[in-house]
Structure 1
């Protein structure tokens, strides 16, 4: 366990990632932790496995993954969010002066909504790059400007009810706001988030989940296979081996 301290505040970086799951089905619309597969929403709440319908975070790291969670998700694109909760039930589990690095995945509509928000940052950075005389590499400039936004804003991820072809369901709406100047904790969390970001860039792996990295590598390897190999049933493989 690593701990970042800033003034009177402390932020925990757990050895095992503090991973939450966004359950967007219409009966739920909540962040959850632990094994909830055989539980109803009310049972999960009674068991202390739910973490509310929103979280506000100092954002530390955002990455893209191709993952497989059979049977529903096969080689599907996800966005991995890492941040320090400053409001919501993920934060409420801790003393008012501390929090811990936490992570969850978003996909499909939730992922697209966040991508749209990031695109706004990219467009603003591009305009500023041109206004300043187009000095240096535009992509590097955009990354630097995006990092400035990350570490000066509080991001909110909130379950939002919508209607689809199969009925109502939830997606995660991403918004951001200025930190509350009267809450020193939020400013400290932003400072800690920047430290975590820099550490991740140096290869310390604070925002790395080995299980997801393996899942991602396996999914990418599957995508690289010829299509006929991907579709070959496992039982045929056994039959071929027995005849060899």
Structure 2
């Protein structure tokens, strides 16, 4: 039996509607991808604008340095001032010149925050004594899991290369501060560390009982094993965490 004209009309209408909806969703997905690409592009353009600024720009009135390595190594601004106290001139210098006789940091030392803002180290220390946000953008600078305040990084000739990527550059604040990460690493390697200690003590006792060449070699091997565990499993991971994260 052939379908009626009315049933064919309804079928064609429903098919057209499905195709229209499918096309709409496809376009919507493409628009979402395009919006995401545009957003990423705008983020990079904002960074590139800072790279393209001339050396004698309004850096003295700015506290936003999203690319500290580009700014301090290439642009080398000589008129940047702390925007908290409005008077201290910040100097990019060596750690030896930046530290006072008592080992404290001088007022002219720039300190970097993860959000890309910079200010005088002394002013920031005073600010973070009562606050946990950036004094400029008000971003909360705390580690999510442990709740400790984020550590600022001093901008010196030696310290600049140890500063992680800022958030505008694609960096991030980790869940735990470096001290809490250290505690976690200690707990992780503690079982293996205790086992290494026992093997070293046993090897030393055997060498004391019969100081032969075989016992000496075993003692040296156990000592190397202990040092390797402490260095590779603990210190290297702590250093990597310090270099990669705030």
Band the TM-score falls in, shorter-chain normalisation? under 0.3
TM-score (norm 2): 0.24
Q: Which structure has the higher relative contact order (CA within 8 Å, separation 6+)?
A: 1
Richer in helix (by share)? 2
Structure showing greater radius of gyration is 2
More strand per residue: 1
